[in-house]
Chains A and B, each alone.
Chain A
Amino acid sequence: MKTIVKYALVTLLVACIVFPTGAVFAASSGSSDGSAHVGNTAATVINPGLYDSADSVDTNNTSIDVWTEYHVNCTVTDDNTLNDLENVTYIIWEETYADEGSADSNVNHYTFRYVNDTDTWEEVGPDAAGDSHLVSGNCSDPADHAATSGTFKLAFKLHKTANYTALTTAWKIKIIAYDSDTSGSNQQLFFGVNFFVELTVDDSSHAWSSLNPGDTDVLIDTPADGKIDVTVTANAEFDLQAKGSGDLTKTGGGTPIGLGNVTIHKDTQGSSASLTESYADIGGLTGLSSGESQAHSLKLWIDVPLGTEHGTYTYTLDIQGVKA
């Protein structure tokens, strides 16, 4: 009997070892728990393109204009569906004075982002508060985020002071699609920026209100401070130039005052030069640095030849900024 018990115990022990206990319980409960873990796959960015605002002209590797809308289009894929994305980030920078990781700046570095959680586009910088470089109404993301790929469109414009570059490859665009675990990026787009200058004439008229024949080097008295103010924004070093429309002609006819009797300079009569009908540099206002809303002023003097008739004489003064 003891032998039988021993064999029975040994048989039970062997059975316990050979057959998994789960099978014993399963057999007793009649059901099975299971799990399947699906790993994260990295998002990818493909087919990037830089286009004009109508999406009709490929502007990659060309020079583009500041303060003008352009589009960055791309396809983002994620095998875990687009719902898995956290954001799609666009980094735009000019490589001469900045790199991908530089701080955002109107001059050379911009960051934009599509945020999946909130389904919104935002300007990370340089104007995070105002989004002045993001044309949010023309940005778009795929309608179906349950799909595994879709097209994203960033509509943006560069600031007026975005660095001018002669090379059409100096500015870079990098697109990065971040998902929950990792990210995929694509950097194939590049462009240059055309020279831009904005000139505001703060004093849009000028005059000498009381002159006599034989007067020389008389400074304008309108504006009252004797100088013409202008405000300039430019994305590269520039010169200010001026020209006259022609001789100062008398209302009602008569002998004009020659344009050469009017001289111009930033502030010094002794260094002033006569106006001509072709643009020429304004002394003291050349080689000016790039920047936004820079205040400059200039002065005009006149000689009145003897024999000049009494009357009112007019002409038009044109001012322009050119790349230095």
Chain B
Amino acid sequence: MARIAAEQKFEVSPAALAPANGGNIYECEAVSLELFPHGQRRLIIDRLSLNVRAGEFLTIVGSSGTGKSTLLRLLGGLMPASSGSIRFRGSAVTGAPSGVVVVFQDYSNALLQWRSVARNVALGIEGKLDRAEIDRRVRQSLQLVGLEKNASDHPWQLSGGMQQRVQIARALALKPQVMLMDEPFGALDAMTKASLQDEVLQVHERTGTSFVFITHDIDEAVYLGDRAVVLAGPPGHIHKTVEIALPRPRDQMRTRQSPAFLDYRAEIHAAVLNAGGH
């Protein structure tokens, strides 16, 4: 019940809740990526097939070199795949699809240092909506990440965790159906990381947005996810998929101490070790 009330407050586009194609918002089939650094052919991702269900929180774990970030760039339309098909809501991804937005790990590079927090958040909607609607969305987005008091600050005046919140708010202002997050909390301390995890879970719950969340932190993958995909490589491919049936809402204390959490953690840990990688 609480969820429905919150959704009305944020006015999620109905498409985020009513999926096309049998509940899958993303469908990837036999996706490969080859690059040619120094003229040598290198296979980065090898015939990877993966669906993302609408409304799902999907986490992707793997050691470095398994193509996690590259996979996210492909999903976000930031680079084209060499072969295979990536479809977002039924249509092939060519360029960044509308309704999808990427949040990057290096928040200080990803924010415009010369713009205030509010104007950073407005960057993706400026010129697309009228003034009043932009102001409203900026306010709502900043509220969702708890930064409404910092609207007129500049990014360099904020802590790392707050800067990452700005980047998340900027993504939320577009009211995306899917948020693609590339190790967003990888550079943050443990305390900040925990509170941002809970904020992202709240956003997920309130807005019904689907998440694809890359991490190398197994605990994080279990804590956040409805499903965790373990990548192996190079070249990157899916090693194992684990459905995580932990109850929601999740709780930093109770969830992490539950036997089920520890079982999932052990299972994924074993899978990551098995998968190898660099």
Q: Do A and B come from the same complex?
A: no
B residues bordering A, Cβ < 8 Å? Answer: none
